[in-house]
Amino acid sequence: MAAETAPNTHLLAGVRIQITDGPDAGLVATSDSGGSFRFAVLRPGMVGIVATKDGYLPWRVLNLSVETYPQIQIVLYPVPPVNASGTPATARCNDGTWSWETSLANLCAANGGMAYTVCPGPLCIGGRQ
């Protein structure tokens, strides 16, 4: 499955999923209107995968075992917007809006709290860069 991350979780059509490493490097699949995609046959082994869609940051995984993980879920993050001065957003709020706040104390206070920080960025937490 291919989906957008919270807070606007929904399935994504048109995500291009490519095997980049491993015995089946070069194979490509595209998610359908229900977010589903399928590779007809993947040979056993470790693979690298990249998923892309316009308006979203690329999703990557390396050294994924086809035998251990025959089904995967791809979760894409939208490309953060920039404000009028060209500064990228620092976080996404739980109501789906974006924030340019640089203080955790005030971040998304009027918008239901923070869904996630934008990485890299001044508020990036949890090592998700």
Q: Are residues 64 and 112 in the same domain?
A: no
* pLDDT the model gives residue 6: 92
Q: What pLDDT is recorded for position 7?
A: 94
pLDDT tens, residue by residue, 70-104? 789 999 999 999 999 999 999 999 999 999 998 88
Same domain, 12 and 67: yes
Please confirm whether the linkage preceding 120 is cis (ω < 30° from 0).
yes
112 Cβ neighbours under 8 A, 6+ residues apart: 7, 93, 94, 95
- Asked if residue 94 and residue 71 are part of one domain, the reply reads no
Whether 91 and 126 map to the same domain: the answer is: yes
What range defines the domain where residue 32 resides? 2-76
Contact indicator for 49, 19 with CB cutoff of 8 Å? yes
Report how far Cα 81 is from the mean position of its chain's Cα atoms.
15
Count of domains for the chain: 2
The CATH number that applies at residue 24 is: 2.60.40.1120
Q: Which of 51, 76, 101 is the last residue of a domain?
A: 76
Distance CA 91, CA 117 (A): 4
pLDDT number for residue 52: 98
